[in-house]
Amino acid sequence: MILELVGFRILAPALGTSIFIWTSLIGIILGAMSLGYYLGGKLADKNPNLKTFSNLIFIAGLFTFFILISKNIVLEISLLFGLKAGAVFAALVLFALPGVLLGAVSPYAVRLAIKKVENSGNTVGNLYAVSTFGSIVGTFLAGFYLIPNFGSTNILYGLAIMLMLLSLSIYNKKERVIQATLGLFFLMGSSLVSSAMTQNNFIVDKDSVYNHIRVYDIENKEGRPIRIMSVENFADSGMFLDSDELAFEYSKYYQLDKVFAKEIKKVVMFGGAAYSVPKDFLARNKNAEIDVVEIDPETTKIAEEYFRLDVNNKRLGIFHQDARMFLNESQKNGKKYDAVYGDAFSSQCSLPFHLTTREAVSKIYDILDDDGVYIVNVISSFSGEKSEFFRSEYKTIKEKFENVFAFPLMKEKGNNPEAVQNIMIVAAKGDINIDDILEKNKNGEMGELLKNLWKGEIKTDDVNILTDDFAPVNYFALKSCDY
């Protein structure tokens, strides 16, 4: 179970965190263990002995370490196959052999433990009870302690070494001691070579409870230095190193709140990451407050250290919890906001499905003041076969909000509506005269943003409203992002 949970963290930086990754990983490991059960049973009936049993565990340790030294190249190759096939390929190459070997251990252990047929049921029951209990302990240990405190790489090192030491404790003859010693030297040597080959310039490169987070500096097209926070290999947010102005074009559209709402005194944002938008909000609204709902506390710590976030600002509230849970609690408690910003992503193009549904939109509507506005960032094409997610989400929001507007950022995509792009959806709760808004904001920064307002028809008759029961957001993202 530890290997399976860590496996997800190994695949996520390259392939994301969609349901397809879990499906591939669980399916491959279950298939590998099933084959291991079969082969282990065959092997155990031939000549059951401690030496062979120990060898199975020792080799499993070696192949566990193989994951570490081969994962980078395997993941690079997997990207050539697309998301689904790439996830299956990576899981198969990295985890199948350890899975087969570890699966073979169980029937072999049963065969060694059975001394009398009369007691075989009790023996098998005890072994399966111990095995299942170990899986439970491993699951909680990995999820609650190992992954957030040690990272996936160190955990795999630990697993490989523990398997080798376990094999040594089972069969500690001279030859096995030599094998274990050579194996450990192999581990250390390969580790040094692997580390030398994977040197990078990341300022931060670490696992948190929720994500794999990287921070690095680049230059934009104009040569200006930008610091990027990447979450699961997706450039989630960033800032200019030489100023506090917004570095990503889409993030400027949250400033439209003051155009579509009568007043802005308190807002809430789902998704903080590097906190670029909240910092901008506090800078341009000197008397307003913003609550940020960011599920991962580690991103907040990194934002404070590397992205000039002042966590002690009294006008900034930070909530480390799932945004849907926050919505549920806010609705029950009668919290009200003048604006809700949506910028939470579970992978490169995919919003968390439970924030996209009819039920979630209804809760967002309820926590808004009478003249409040909801602004959400969607990554999709605007029209064509890759536009299902945008059009489904637009239809879902439109069911609750009478005034819904779309701002596709097509300039960055050659004005092509079928290109995958940021699309900002703005939904106003109060009465809106869009012609009056456009007339009053002809010039200036707001005028530039409003120029991207889509004034044509948005076809939604061939898509469904998203619900908690049915919201195939991962499927839409698979089509949109060309994995």
Pair (187, 306) in one structural domain:
no
Pair (344, 475) in one structural domain:
yes
Greater confidence (236 vs 156) lies with 156
Structural domain including 81 reads 2-199
Q: Which tens digit of pLDDT belongs to each residue from 394-414?
A: 999 999 999 999 999 977 676
- Which of 95, 160, 106 is CA-nearest to residue 131? 106
E strands along 223-298, which residues?
225-231, 234-240, 266-270, 289-293
pLDDT of 75: 87
- Which of 260, 222, 225 is CA-nearest to residue 239? 225
| Structure tokens given for 308 | 């000039």
E strands along 144-260, which residues?
204-207, 212-219, 225-231, 234-240
Q: Give, in order, the Cα–Cα distances in Å from 154 to each of 75, 307, 439.
A: 19, 27, 59
Average pLDDT taken over every residue of the chain: 87
For residues 476 and 141, give the distance between their C-alpha atoms in angstroms, rounded to a whole number: 34
Q: Which tens digit of pLDDT belongs to each residue from 168-222?
A: 888 776 666 676 666 666 666 655 555 555 556 799 988 888 888 899 999 988 8
For residues 320 and 172, give the distance between their C-alpha atoms in angstroms, rounded to a whole number: 49
Q: Which tens digit of pLDDT belongs to each residue from 44-61?
A: 888 888 888 988 998 898
For residue 146, pLDDT over 90 is answered with: no
Task: Please answer whether residues 64 and 154 qualify as being in contact, where contact means their C-beta atoms are separated by less than 8 angstroms.
Answer: no
Pair (183, 307) in one structural domain:
no
Q: With respect to residue 284, please indicate whether it lies within any of the assigned structural domains.
A: yes
> Which value, to the nearest 10 degrees, does the dihedral of the CA atoms of residues 21, 22, 26, 28 take?
-10
Pair (257, 358) in one structural domain:
yes
Q: Which tens digit of pLDDT belongs to each residue from 302-316?
A: 999 999 999 999 999
Helices then strands, counting H and E runs in the chain, come out as 16, 11
For residue 480, pLDDT over 60 is answered with: yes
Question: Pick from 173, 199, 225: which residue ends a domain?
Answer: 199
Q: With respect to residue 207, please indicate whether it lies within any of the assigned structural domains.
A: no
Pair (277, 383) in one structural domain:
yes
Q: How many structural domains are present in the chain?
A: 2
For residues 427 and 382, give the distance between their C-alpha atoms in angstroms, rounded to a whole number: 17
Pair (168, 41) in one structural domain:
yes
Q: Point out the least confidently predicted range of 181-195, 247-261, 283-297, 388-402.
A: 181-195
E strands along 285-328, which residues?
289-293, 316-319
Q: With respect to residue 315, please indicate whether it lies within any of the assigned structural domains.
A: yes
Q: At what angle do helices 19-46 and 2-15 cross, to 10 degrees?
A: 140
Q: With respect to residue 72, please indicate whether it lies within any of the assigned structural domains.
A: yes
| Structure tokens given for 326 | 């926050």
pLDDT of 100: 95
Pair (271, 382) in one structural domain:
yes
Pair (116, 256) in one structural domain:
no
Task: Please answer whether residues 64 and 3 qualify as being in contact, where contact means their C-beta atoms are separated by less than 8 angstroms.
Answer: yes
For residues 248 and 256, give the distance between their C-alpha atoms in angstroms, rounded to a whole number: 15
Three-state secondary structure call for residue 221: coil
- Which of 343, 351, 345, 400 is CA-nearest to residue 372? 400
pLDDT of 35: 95
- Which of 351, 353, 349, 352 is CA-nearest to residue 480? 349
Pairing state of beta strands 368-380 and 421-428? antiparallel
pLDDT of 134: 80
pLDDT of 173: 67
Question: What value does the mean pLDDT take over residues 137-165?
Answer: 81
**Tokens 């990287």 found at:** 214
Domain of residue 356, CATH code: 3.40.50.150
| Structure tokens given for 406 | 């779309």
pLDDT of 255: 95
Greater confidence (146 vs 42) lies with 42
E strands along 64-159, which residues?
none
E strands along 90-211, which residues?
204-207
For residue 136, pLDDT over 80 is answered with: yes
DSSP string, 382-402: SSSTT-HHHHHHHHHHHHH-S
Pair (146, 240) in one structural domain:
no
pLDDT of 131: 79
For residue 328, pLDDT over 70 is answered with: yes
Q: Point out the least confidently predicted range of 67-76, 183-192, 350-359.
A: 183-192
Q: With respect to residue 209, please indicate whether it lies within any of the assigned structural domains.
A: no
pLDDT of 345: 83
Pair (77, 173) in one structural domain:
yes
Q: Which tens digit of pLDDT belongs to each residue from 419-474?
A: 889 999 999 998 889 999 999 998 888 999 999 999 989 999 999 999 999 988 87
Q: With respect to residue 205, please indicate whether it lies within any of the assigned structural domains.
A: no
For residue 483, pLDDT over 60 is answered with: no
Looking at the DSSP assignment, which residues form a beta bridge with residue 290?
A: 267, 316
Task: Please answer whether residues 11 and 75 qualify as being in contact, where contact means their C-beta atoms are separated by less than 8 angstroms.
Answer: yes
Q: With respect to residue 204, please indicate whether it lies within any of the assigned structural domains.
A: no
pLDDT of 307: 96
Q: With respect to residue 184, please indicate whether it lies within any of the assigned structural domains.
A: yes
Q: What percent of the chain has pLDDT over 70?
A: 91
Pair (195, 219) in one structural domain:
no
pLDDT of 135: 80
Pair (311, 456) in one structural domain:
yes
| Structure tokens given for 417 | 């509506």
pLDDT of 177: 65
Looking at the DSSP assignment, which residues form a beta bridge with residue 319?
A: 293
For residues 171 and 49, give the distance between their C-alpha atoms in angstroms, rounded to a whole number: 10
Domain of residue 71, CATH code: 1.20.1250
For residues 9 and 156, give the distance between their C-alpha atoms in angstroms, rounded to a whole number: 11
